[in-house]
Amino acid sequence: MARLDAWMKGAGCCALLATLGTAGGCGRVPDSGSVATASPSDTAVAPSPSPSPTVDPTADWQPYHSTNGQFSLKHPASWFVSPEGNSGGLVSIGLGVKHPMGPYDYVTDISSGSWPASQRLDTSCFLLATAGESHAVTVDGVTGIRKTGTLTACQGGQSLDVTEYDFTTNGRNYFFTYTARPDAVPLSDFDLMVTSTVTFSA
């Protein structure tokens, strides 16, 4: 698209001045009975600007792959990543900020994991039973659900505001949850992690 200043210097200037009834300053003055024409030099066309390169906001994030959980993701290098747990078929990791709970226990902002879809599992302690809001989302070609709601912690009984992604593919159920805390990592980073870096493997 020609730039406005180039247009004003060329034939567009003549058209604008003619429309406004303003004389002079553009093109050639015709002889009596002749028709004015603009020379090629009068119509300068600026080159179209090159599109700005797309910047990947996750380019410097660290990769993580779970062979047992059959998923991969990337996360900011500053995030804490827990050792992988594998209990009763449930494979999970914690990410984000490490929040101590007593001398030995801790919780994290984010939990990610999976388990076989054929296995019945009590998820009431870590997944939302009901959602206040939900909508479909597609990640790595798999359509799942992003939902928000309140989860009652099994330890302590406090109410937690949770954002959750759920997917089922390759014979496994996958989950990625974020718990809002005053010093948690940004929710936007969690959303970006799931929607832009998660992949599922068979």
Note the pLDDT of residue 198: 98
Beta carbons of 137 and 92 less than 8 angstroms apart: no
Enumerate residue ranges in the chain where pLDDT < 70. Answer: 1-44
114 and 36 in a common domain: no
pLDDT of residue 86: 94
Q: Residue 55: inside a domain, yes or no?
A: no
User: What total number of domains does the chain contain?
Assistant: 2
Q: Which of 162, 97, 174, 80 is nearest to 125 (CA)?
A: 162
User: Does one domain contain both 26 and 101?
Assistant: no
Look at residue 117 and give its three-state secondary structure. coil
**pLDDT for the residue 44:** 67
Q: Diameter of the chain by CA atoms? A: 99
User: Do 169 and 128 share a domain, yes or no?
Assistant: yes
Looking at the domain assignment, is residue 49 inside a domain? no
Asked if residue 27 and residue 114 are part of one domain, the reply reads: no
Q: Tell me if 79 sits within 8 A of 93, measured CB to CB.
A: no
80 with 117, same domain: the answer is yes
Q: Which residues contact 87 (CB under 8 A, 6 or more apart)?
A: none
As beta bridge partners, residue 143 has 138
- 128 and 66 housed in the same domain: yes
Q: What is the DSSP letter of 121?
A: -
Q: Confirm whether pTM is higher than 0.85.
A: no
Distance of alpha carbon 19 from alpha carbon 11, whole angstroms: 13
Are 26 and 69 contained in the same domain?
no
> What does the block give as tokens for 146?
């992003």
pLDDT of res. 45: 72
Q: Are residues 166 and 113 in contact, defined by beta-carbon separation less than 8 angstroms? A: no
Write out the residue range of the structural domain in which residue 101 sits.
62-200
Look at residue 128 and tell me if it is in a domain.
yes
Is there a domain that residue 53 lies in?
Answer: no
122 shares its domain with 187: yes
Give the C-alpha separation, 72 to 69, whole Å.
9
Q: What is the pLDDT of residue 187?
A: 97
Residue 149 domain-assigned?
yes
- Report CA torsion sign: 151, 154, 158, 163: negative
My answer on whether 163 and 66 are in the same domain is yes
Q: Is residue 170 part of a domain?
A: yes
32 and 74 in a single domain? The answer is: no
Has residue 56 been placed in a domain? no
Q: Are residues 170 and 96 in the same domain?
A: yes
Helices (H), 64-160: none
Give the pLDDT of residue 36.
Answer: 53
* Residue 69 shares a structural domain with residue 33: no
Domain assignment of residue 112, yes or no: yes
Whether residue 191 contacts residue 110, with contact meaning beta carbons closer than 8 Å, is answered with no
Task: Tell me if residue 87 falls in helix, strand or coil.
Answer: strand
